[in-house]
Structure 1
Amino acid sequence: MTIKRRLIISYILVFVVPIMMTAFLFLFSAGGLWLFTQSGNHVFVESPTQFNRATEAVHHVVFRSIRAGQTDPSGYTWVIEMFSPQQSYVILKEDNQTYYEYGNGKLASRIKNIPAYVQDRGLTESNRDTYVRSEDGQYYYYEKQNIDGHVYSLYFLSQEMPHGTDEAVERATRGTIIAIILSFFILLALTIYLLTHFVLRYMQRALDLLQLGSTHVREGDLRGHLYYPHDDEVKPVVEAFNMMTKELNQSLQERQQAEENRKELIANMSHDIRTPLTAIRAYVEGLMDNVANTPEKQERYLKVIQKKAADMDRMINQLFLFSKIELGERALPMEEMDLNRVVAEIVYENEDGWQRDGAVVTLSQSGGTLPVMGNAELWQRIITNLVSNSIKYKTDSIVQIQINTAKADGRISLVVADDGPGVAPDVLPRLKELFYRTDKARSRTGDGSGLGLAIVARAVELMGGTLTFCLVEPHGLCACLELPEKKEEEPHE
């Protein structure tokens, strides 16, 4: 049950309970009067005011019962018989025929004190005639009504009694009032308690659940999942809390993984840079110690130093680019460009160098422009890293590399495939990992830093694309890059 429904039920009960309490008090009072009549106690009239109240009660009960079809006096005589039979005298007549008489018959002679013209006059237009009189401590009440073609007459006579004769009635009345007040407050307090418990207990369970989850988060436990079985207003809050902890846990894991990657990056780069640096130092010392004592040795030493310095420069450039990629678009802003033109320029600029390294690069492009959001520096590094990776691990003197661009279904693709030795199928998912070298998977080892393909993967991801590797038959490796096509913005009217 939802909180809203519980509140609605509470509001309804707040409205219904007072009505029920009123009915309960009415029944309680009626029961008290019935018990009073059964106890043998009677009401004594001590003033005209009390007589008027007594006749009003008798009038309502008697005539309403008759109008309801209950002509048998046993249904309403209980209200008449509450009054003292010594003090009162009551007669009921139907068409001038007496069918009920109660009280002190000695008072019957005083009926003549009611004027004959009052008793004999016809009914008024309202089918009702009433006569009330009070004199010398004597009270008279006379009423007749026309009900279903019959004239019913009520005579009620009473003589004033000394004050204090109705002490039993007063005690009963006081007891009844006290009982009614106590019952009212007890029932009201019970209703408030139950309604408050009905709503707050339900909400408290939800709050306790959220507090428990918050405690786990504060203690660093982000793996917990709150279970809330009810389908109400609290459920979206619990689901949002679970989503928050899940994302926090994922973010924490990514942060820890990134920290581990940085540590590994520093360790690996330190090791990789130390290798050419050690070689440079050794050859420089050889030159200084005159180990290279011939022009040929000196030239060979200098060429080795130049190569090792180039390797260090390449690794530092890779590290610098990787750091820029980690910073994202702040360091490498994206712009709209034509992929066909960018790839063609990169191939044209590097084609001669690739041929000297034993690579024959063939470029095949789709017609028209291929608009993408990217960065020229990233594309330069993507193409050169993929081609360099094919050259590095080639087993023949020449490696054939095919570069293709295409567009289909709103996606733009760039495919770089070679006919090299390829890799083992189980290695494909790991090619994008940092510092992963496929030495055991290739027929020969390389001198790479292990950042090349990782940089390609992160660069493609930064530009909103995807990178997948697959094998080429009968042998070779293929890298497929897919990026979303840059849509032209519609001009504003």
Structure 2
Amino acid sequence: MKRRIFLYNAVVVMIALTALLIVSGAVIRSVNDHYMERPPVVDDNAPKVQKAMTQWLENPSSWEDLNQRLKDLGYALYVSLNGAEVYSSMAPIQTDLLRQLPRSTSWPSGEPATLWMGGALVIGMRSGPYTILAMGEPNMPKVFGRQRVQTEAVLLSVLLIGATAIVVIVLLSMVSTHFQLKHILRPVNALTDAARRIEAGDYSQPVGYDGQDEFTAVCAAFEHMQHHLLQEREKNAAYERARTDLVAGISHDLRTPLTSVKGYIKGLRDGVANTPAKQAQYLDIAYRKACDMDVLLQRLFYFSKLETGNLPLFPVRADLGEFVRGFVRDTAGDLEQRGGKFLVRGAPAPHPVRIDTEQLYRVLTNLTDNAVRYTGAEALVLTLTLWRERDREHLRFADNGCGVPEEALPHLFEQFWRGDQSRGGQSGEGSGLGLYIVKYIIEAHGGTISARNDGGLVFDIALPCEEEESDHA
């Protein structure tokens, strides 16, 4: 675009200057030739003028009387005293010619002399302190309405050419500017129309600019933004549907244990449970159903904290190895009841980290629940491996299941994403939040988590190492 504008302006200036030089040269040459073609005039009245001036000297009278005599012969009179004008009947062109007389011009005293001045015959003489000049009508062309001397004619011609050149340059500039603006406004109008379409909610139509200039990148970036907005709108719509499904699912799942709690309490109240053993059974079932409702409500509450960014972290210094072994001790019995077991591997070396123990406990719980529900192994084995690599403490959480399809790996940590195996989950599971929560908590600790298939599904967690020297700080 800058190159095109520079080229347009350069072309306009070059054309205008070239035209000005050509026209100026032609006009000046024509004017000069016009003046040069005027031959000296042969005036038969010149001797009569000389005689009239001589007779006037012999018998002086008024300047008006001498002027009348010269006027009858076709001449005009000019009288000066020591260079100052005393009397003049000359036309403007004759006055202009007189101004071109050299100051050194000397006229004889008492006897008229003649002088040819580029188109006019001048007859002059001196009478005492007076200089008396008579000039016939100049043989000069008319320029702009009247006869003019050559220098004036050339100057006026140049001024006229300059004015014409200015008009031409302005017109050429206007034409050039019109085409430049038309070219520049193409992408601007395209972007404006695209912005209006986006404002109206239409993200499908491209900008539609195929030029090759600075605006090409802008239009490409705008289309990329438009495509991104379209994807975000579709993703947000999917998220909204998933949120609706989540709330509807949890509401539905709450209804089942709530109905059970109400039924067993009603049984107690109505005396259906009429023995201590049966009453204890009813209370135990009602308590477990209430715990199930609490789990569902906690999950919904936890999700709302994630959505608003109000999930607080209270990190403390801890040993990752001891934390993992403590988690295994706490949950091993429950896992065995569900048909699985833990294996912990790694050197007993210290693994210092700063973690929120409650939130990291939730991470391991979610990974364990995910493995129990979706691994598909008859004898589930969860292997937790610890090691240190440079300034990172690593924890590998691996199962012995069948893994997940490779195309599903990039989506495991997405909010509300659910694989085919998770669609039959119970009690509010299968909402697509478990691994999303895991990733959120790990990244909030400044760590990373990734998933891969390696004899089962493997999660690699890396957390910043808390240097031991900080104990002595």
TM range (shorter): 0.5 to 0.7
The 2-side partners of 1:172 and 1:198 are apart by: 43
Residue number in structure 2 paired with 1:138: 114
CA distance in 1, matches of 2:221, 2:314: 33
SS of aligned partner of 1:463: helix
What's the CA shift string for 1:203-260, capped at 9, x where partnerless? Answer: 2223212212212222112233335444543334334423433333333333322222
**Are the counterparts in 1 of residues 347 and 387 from structure 2 also a CA contact under 8 Å?**
yes
Question: In structure 2, what is the equivalent of residue 333 of structure 1?
Answer: 313
Specify whether residues 164 and 194 from structure 1 end up closer, same or farther in structure 2 by C-alpha distance, changes over 3 A only: same
Q: Which runs of 5+ in 2 are unaligned?
A: 44-101, 123-134
Partner of 2:292: 311
Quote the residue 1:249 is aligned against: 230
Partner residue in 1 for 2:429: 450
Task: Provide closer, same or farther for how the CA distance between residues 182 and 325 of structure 1 changes in structure 2, counting only shifts above 3 A.
Answer: closer
Counterpart CA distance in 2 for 1:440 and 1:303 is: 29
CA 1:159–1:431: 2 relative to 1, 3 Å? closer
**Contact residue 396 and residue 458 of structure 2 kept, 8 A:** yes
What is the CA distance between 1:408 and its match in structure 2? Answer: 5.2
Tell me the CA shift for residue 266 of structure 1: 0.7
- Partner Cα distance (2:165, 2:338) in 1: 102
2:367 match: 386
C-alpha displacement of 1:268: 0.6
Q: Retained in 2: the 8 A contact 1:401–1:418?
A: yes
SS of match in other structure, 2:136: coil
Structure 2: distance between partners of 1:157 and 1:186 = 35
Work out whether 1:163 is the aligned partner of 2:137. Answer: yes
Secondary structure of 2:382's aligned partner: strand
Deviation by residue 1:371-422 (Cα, 9 ceiling, x = unmatched): 67764333211211222344457889964322223455877643333446x5
Q: Does the residue aligned with 2:272 lie in a helix, a strand or coil?
A: coil
1:36-435 aligned at under 5 Å gives the runs 37=34, 43=35, 79=36, 81-84=37-40, 86=42, 133=105, 135=107, 138-139=114-115, 159-160=121-122, 162-163=136-137, 165-166=139-140, 168=142, 171=145, 177=157, 180=161, 183-328=164-309, 330-333=310-313, 335=315, 339-355=320-336, 357-365=338-346, 368=349, 375-391=356-372, 399-407=380-388, 413-419=394-400, 422=402, 425=405, 434=416
User: Counterpart of 2:99?
Assistant: none
Q: Distance in 2 between matches of 1:18 and 1:487?
A: 77
Alpha-carbon deviation of 1:274?
0.8
- 1:202 Cα deviation after fit: 2.7
Change (3 A) 1:360 1:201: same
Residues paired across the two proteins, number: 380
Contact 2:342 2:382 in 1 (8 A): yes
The alignment's C-alpha RMSD in Å is: 4.3
Amino acid at match of 2:137: H
Distance 1:20 1:235 in 2: 35
2-structure distance, mates of 1:163, 1:276: 129
**1:312: how far off?**
1.1
Relative to structure 1, is the Cα distance of residues 171 and 437 closer, same or farther in structure 2, using a 3 angstrom cutoff?
A: closer
Gaps of 5+ in 1: 38-42, 44-78, 88-129, 142-155
Deviation of residue 8 (structure 1)?
3.3
Equivalent AA in structure 2 for residue 457 of structure 1: Y
Structure 2 Cα separation of the partners of residues 170 and 419 of structure 1: 108
